[in-house]
């Protein structure tokens, strides 16, 4: 049991570091190749921040462990809203821009409903996975088009500033792109092996391991970035970060894993895990909408979200012990 535990800890640490280097290398390489900063911010960084979930779930599917892949995606979504946004709101009240309520949050609700509809027959088939990836491509195209029209995209502006402050030569950019990708793959393989070994050793389902340990570990980049943004007085970035990450998790992470290995889904995934994911997404939309006054996430709402996270995690632990 010691070796799998060490593999998980080492895998998490290497996963976080390699994902960061992969994003830096990919963004700088794209810039050298003449790709616009807008496209880099929306696509390269968008994929990069969800790279841990995507690569871990892909390797889980390749190893014939699709439940681990699905648990990683849905567990990360629940953690993003309840734990990450909850902690961010505790640090600082999060203002909600009207465009977020009009565009991104309704899209996230729709994508979550699509995921539930696909689970209804107890399977995420290869055709279901392809639908998710097609929706992802259409959504990315629409987001880039909308950002070009508005000419006010915070992510691309932040990416432009980052590229100016930390320039990389083309040679260095390609080197970090390749090294980051290789280490992403190696650390993901290590993490999946450790998680599966512990699940088998303790008699715990791979789904539960994916929903808890693996989901928490792969969500660490979003957790660190969101808390840092909240402490710097830019807490509104945390909301955009979480919404974007959840869209990628539901569409890209499940889509890639499902194309590799169709997933048989137990009834508890729909009645428990998807239901919680949908409920917290609806709750986030209600809190963000604001109704009588401009939407914002307060300290008390942050505490409420944290309570949901600990309640859900306690529920999962109870199902293992009972």
The secondary element (H helix, E strand) that includes residue 222 is: helix 220-231
Residues 99, 104, 105, 107, Cα dihedral to 10°: 140
Q: What pLDDT does 281 receive?
A: 95
> Residue 214 — very low, low, confident or very high, per pLDDT cuts 50/70/90?
confident
Tell me, what's the pLDDT at 255? Answer: 94
Q: Of the candidates 255, 281, 307, which has an alpha carbon nearest to the alpha carbon of residue 80?
A: 281
248 phi/psi in degrees, rounded to 5: -65, -40
Q: Are 73 and 245 in contact (CB under 8 A)?
A: no
Confidence of residue 202 (pLDDT cuts 50, 70, 90): confident
Give the chain's mean pLDDT: 81
Which tokens sit at 133?
């990836």
- From the list 239, 211, 214, 206, the residue with the least C-alpha distance to 225 is 239
Write down the pLDDT at residue 209: 87
Mean pLDDT, residues 267-272 taken together: 92
What's residue 120's pLDDT?
Answer: 93
pLDDT tens for 216-264 read 887 877 777 676 666 666 666 677 778 888 888 999 999 999 999 998 8
Neighbouring-strand partners of residue 123: 264
Integer Cα distance of 88 and 269 in angstroms: 28
- Specify which residues 124 forms β-bridges with: 263
Q: Among candidates 154, 109, 119, 131, which has minimal Cα distance to 272?
A: 119
The 10s digit of each residue's pLDDT in 78-131 is 999 999 889 888 887 777 765 666 678 889 999 999 999 999 999 999 999 999
Tell me the domains of the chain and their CATH numbers. 2-321 (1.20.1420.30)
């Amino acid at each position: 049991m010691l070796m799998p535990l060490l593999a998980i800890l080492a895998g998490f640490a290497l996963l976080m570091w390699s994902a960061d280097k992969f994003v830096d290398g990919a963004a700088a390489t794209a810039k050298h190749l003449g790709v616009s900063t807008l496209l880099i911010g929306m696509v390269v960084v968008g994929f990069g921040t969800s790279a841990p979930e995507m690569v871990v779930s892909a390797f889980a599917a390749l190893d014939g462990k699709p439940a681990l892949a699905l648990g990683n995606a849905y567990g990360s979504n629940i953690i993003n809203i309840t734990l990450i946004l909850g902690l961010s709101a505790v640090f600082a009240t999060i203002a909600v821009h009207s465009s977020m309520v009009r565009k991104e949050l309704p899209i996230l609700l729709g994508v979550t409903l699509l995921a539930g509809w696909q689970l209804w027959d107890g399977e995420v088939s290869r055709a279901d996975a392809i639908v998710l990836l097609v929706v992802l491509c259409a959504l990315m195209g629409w987001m880039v088009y909308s950002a070009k029209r508005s000419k006010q995209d915070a992510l691309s502006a932040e990416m432009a500033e980052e590229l100016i402050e930390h320039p990389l030569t083309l040679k260095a950019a390609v080197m970090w792109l390749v090294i980051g990708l290789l280490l992403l793959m190696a650390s993901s393989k290590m993490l999946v092996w450790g998680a599966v070994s512990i699940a088998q050793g303790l008699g715990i389902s791979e789904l539960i391991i994916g929903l808890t340990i693996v989901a928490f570990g792969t969500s660490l980049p979003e957790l660190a970035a969101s808390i840092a943004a909240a402490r710097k007085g830019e807490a509104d970035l945390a909301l955009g970060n979480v919404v974007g990450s959840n869209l990628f998790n539901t569409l890209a992470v499940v889509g890639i894993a499902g194309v590799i290995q169709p997933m048989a889904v137990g009834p508890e995934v729909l009645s428990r895990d998807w239901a919680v994911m949908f409920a917290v997404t609806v709750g986030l939309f209600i809190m963000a909408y604001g109704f009588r006054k401009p939407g914002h996430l307060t300290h008390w709402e942050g505490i409420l979200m944290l309570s949901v996270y600990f309640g859900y995690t306690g529920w999962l632990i109870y199902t293992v012990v009972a």
